[in-house]
Chains A and B, each alone.
Chain A
Amino acid sequence: MASIELRQVSKIYPGSAAGVKDIDLSVADGEFVIFLGPSGCGKSTLLRSIAGLESITAGDILINGEIVNHVAPRDRNIAVVFQSYALYPHMNVWQNMAFGLRMRGSPAEEIDAKVKEAAELLGLTPLMQRRPSALSGGQRQRVALGRAIVRDPQAFLLDEPLSNLDAQLRAEMRLELVRLHRKLGRTTIHVTHDQVEAMTMGDRIFIMKDGRLIQQGPPLEVYANPADTFVAGFLASPPMNLVSGRLVEVGDGLAFRTDGAMLPIPAAFRAAYAAWAGKPVIFGLRSEDFHAAPNGDSSAPLTLQVEAVEALGPENILIGRLAGAPTQVSARLSRHYSAQPGESVTLYADLTPMHLFTPEDGKAIPRPRAAPALLRRHA
């Protein structure tokens, strides 16, 4: 059982400016959190620092409230699944999984039982005698996972542990990891690029960019209230539509004006956005907030010149431009609604979950928080 806390942690690699900077975060005992961010943003670096494999440049790392900056990795009792798997090439699957227990001097029967159990769970039983070189990528990844599970550590650090599995196995393992976490209750940090993993697995997500922590919170809350255009774009596929334009006063209300569209700002946000009237802003709306028919009183019609249609099966994604505008917009509609490329269609934007961002640094302009979608349904 372990809580993990980072205070002003920086890790800058010597001879470069790369690394992570001023990270403050705390993960409660038993919590499952997600690190999400683009390639090279420092997720693995942070994980290695927590595991004690990299000496940090500044700050303090606390496990269970105690500073562990100078505690050796083996004494932190944290299991790591490495992005590269890092299987021991001269050992077979069984030996790979048993290594940690052997190093800690567990009795032989216990080692055997635990390794068997983990192998069963991960579907590795028929492969126990194979060397890593004779395994497929997905099998290697499962061995790496198994090696961590058997150890029964205080905490798990998983660096993209599902990245190399096929879609079906990934979905199974996703559920399996969550189930395992519920059963063992171990603090877990899970690094991923995957939207679905980020949204569904963790209690909270931490979004990183360029070595910094940008935003943290429960997945749906972050989804509903992105701190800036980066988070807005990153945490969804297709990314949130971001359109440059200007906030204008219309009568006693406000509207967002851009080439090809004029969208009234919902009355609830008027006070919050008043200071930005007349100024350039970036308007953000997710693709699922477009509808084929009017939907409530904050629906606004607009015309989309369709350029491409992605029929995914359960839904159709229309990609196009607002009449004459340069920015591309995508709208996620039901599978019953489609259009041909080249056609102009009228869609209705539900503006209740809209966002405005400053054009200078992309930060969200504060407004009354939108409740996460799930909660709204119960309201």
Chain B
Amino acid sequence: MRHFGLHAGLWLAVALILLPPLWVLRTSLVPESMAYSTDVFPAFSLENYQSLFGQKRFGTFYLNSIIVALGSVIIALPFAAAMGYAFARFQTGGRFGRFLVLSLQMLPPVALVLPAFAILRSMELTQSLTGLTIVYAALNIPFLAWILMGFFEGIPVDLEWAAMTDGTTAWGAFWRIVLPVSLPGLAAAGVLGFILSWNEFLFALVLTGSKTATIPVALASLQTSNGIQIGKVSAGVVLAILPLIIASRFIQRFIVQGLTFGSVK
């Protein structure tokens, strides 16, 4: 009976968390005119999605988001890996260096938007995906470096030493041992960076134009002077969180995987 109570409580919690997104999904799949109906599912329609991909050019924005998020992660990862490794293995910069990296995360993004805009404008990179990708990469580096530092610290230095006595250079040990062993960590960091860039709104709003908008900006633009088109917004939200759901499945797998299990006592 105690189990029954426990399960009921858990189901309640699950419902509380899942109800809003499920309602968004429901709203995206009913005609705009029935969006506010109190019926659970008054009628099925794909008109919201059709309109998004048709006249609202959501396909372009979707692609923009993917390019920017993927691009920024691909640029940021090698730098972040090098940085995290230096912090973890050589204590580069000491505690102050670590604090510096962490403190970047505490800075309110608003403080960085205008300088970023000024810099991009001088390079004529505003309203371009390239500019936004570079900025996202820069924002990602300290965050990913911090995560990877934790992964690298979990890899026993003995592994590198073994490789070095086995005939590699220090660089070879990093390349042949540390990197392959920390692949799950790199993947997890990559996915987190992707999510971060995917969700980012403020920089995207300031740094992109009508053709180069990303999903969050496009979603915001659905809020017009005629009011919020709740059906389309819901459809947009569903599309926006789809990749995140896939990504979090990946991340789970990587994080659950033991890192160096079995290599040392």
Residue of B with least CB distance to A137: B265
B163 in complex: contacting residue of A76, A88, A132, CB < 8 Å: A88
The answer to the question of A283 belonging to the interface, with a C-beta cut-off of 8 Å to chain B, is no
* Interface-centre pick from A86, A137, A164 (highest chain B CB count, 10 A): A86
- Docked pose: A140 CA to B166 CA in angstroms: 17
26 A–B contacts, CB within 8 A, in A order:
A48-B161, A51-B161, A52-B164, A52-B165, A72-B164, A72-B169, A74-B169, A80-B161, A80-B162, A84-B156, A84-B158, A85-B265, A86-B161, A86-B264, A88-B162, A88-B177, A90-B180, A99-B166, A100-B165, A103-B166, A103-B167, A103-B168, A104-B167, A134-B262, A135-B262, A151-B166
Report whether B181 and A147 are in contact in the complex, using a CB–CB cutoff of 8 Å.
no
For the complex, what is the distance from the CA of A264 to the CA of B58, rounded to whole Å? Answer: 103
User: B263 contacts A85, CB within 8 Å?
Assistant: yes
A84 cross-chain contacts in B, Cβ below 8 A: 156, 158, 264-265
List chain B residues, Cβ under 8 A from A51: 161, 165
Q: With A53-B161, A80-B161, A103-B172 given, is the CB distance from A89 to B262 under 8 Å? A: yes
B248 within 8 A of A: no
| Residue of B172, B260, B263 with most chain A CB atoms under a 10 A cut-off | B263
Residues 217-264 of B at the A interface (beta carbon under 8 Å) = 258-264
In the complex, given contacts A74-B169, A103-B167, what are 7 additional A-B residue pairs having Cβ atoms less than 8 angstroms apart?
Answer: A74-B167, A84-B156, A84-B265, A86-B159, A86-B162, A87-B264, A89-B181
**A74 CB contacts on chain B under 8 angstroms:** 164-169
Most buried by A among B158, B162, B261: B162
A316 to B109, CA, bound (A): 77
Please measure, in the bound complex, the distance between the C-alpha atom of A90 and the C-alpha atom of B260, giving whole angstroms: 8
Instruction: Please tell me the number of chain B residues within 8 Å of chain A, measured between CB atoms.
Output: 25
Closest to B166 in A: A100
Assembled-state Cα–Cα distance A53/B160 (Å): 10
B121 CB to closest chain A CB (Å) equals 46
- List A residues 46-92 near B (Cβ within 8 Å): 48, 51-53, 72-74, 76, 78-80, 82-90
Taking CB atoms, residues of chain B closer than 8 Å to A181 are none
Q: Which residues of A contact B183 (CB under 8 A)?
A: 90
- B184 → A minimal CB distance (Å): 10
A327 within 8 A of B: no
Q: Is A209 at the interface (CB under 8 A from chain B)?
A: no
**Closest residue to B179 on the A side, CB-wise?**
A90
Residues of B within 8 A of A (CB): 156, 158-159, 161-169, 172, 177, 180-181, 183, 258-265
Q: Which residues of A contact B263 (CB under 8 A)?
A: 85-89, 132-133
How far apart are the CA atoms of A99 and B158 in the complex, in Å?
15
| Residue in A closest to B161 when the chains form the complex, CB atoms | A53
Contacting pair A86 B164 (CB below 8 A):
no
**Residue A131 at the chain B interface, CB threshold 8 Å:** yes
**Closest chain B residue, CB of each to CB of A98:** B166
- Alpha-carbon separation in the docked complex, A76 to B169 (Å): 12
Asked whether, in the complex, the Cβ of B161 is within 8 Å of the Cβ of A73, the reply is yes
Kindly report which residue of chain A lies nearest to residue B263, judged by CB atoms: A89
Write out, one digit per residue, whether chain A residues 28-44 have a CB within 8 A of any chain B CB (1) or not (0).
00000000000000000
Q: Are B165 and A99 in contact (CB under 8 A)?
A: no
Contact at B165–A79, with CB atoms within 8 Å? yes
Shortest distance in angstroms between A44's beta carbon and chain B's nearest beta carbon? Answer: 10
Nearest-Cβ distance from residue B177 to partner chain A, whole angstroms: 6
A134 to B260, CA, bound (A): 12
| Cβ–Cβ < 8 Å partners of B166 in chain A | 74, 99-100, 103, 147, 151
Nearest-CB distance from B78 to chain A (Å)?
A: 20
Bound state CA distance, A281 and B263, in angstroms?
A: 50
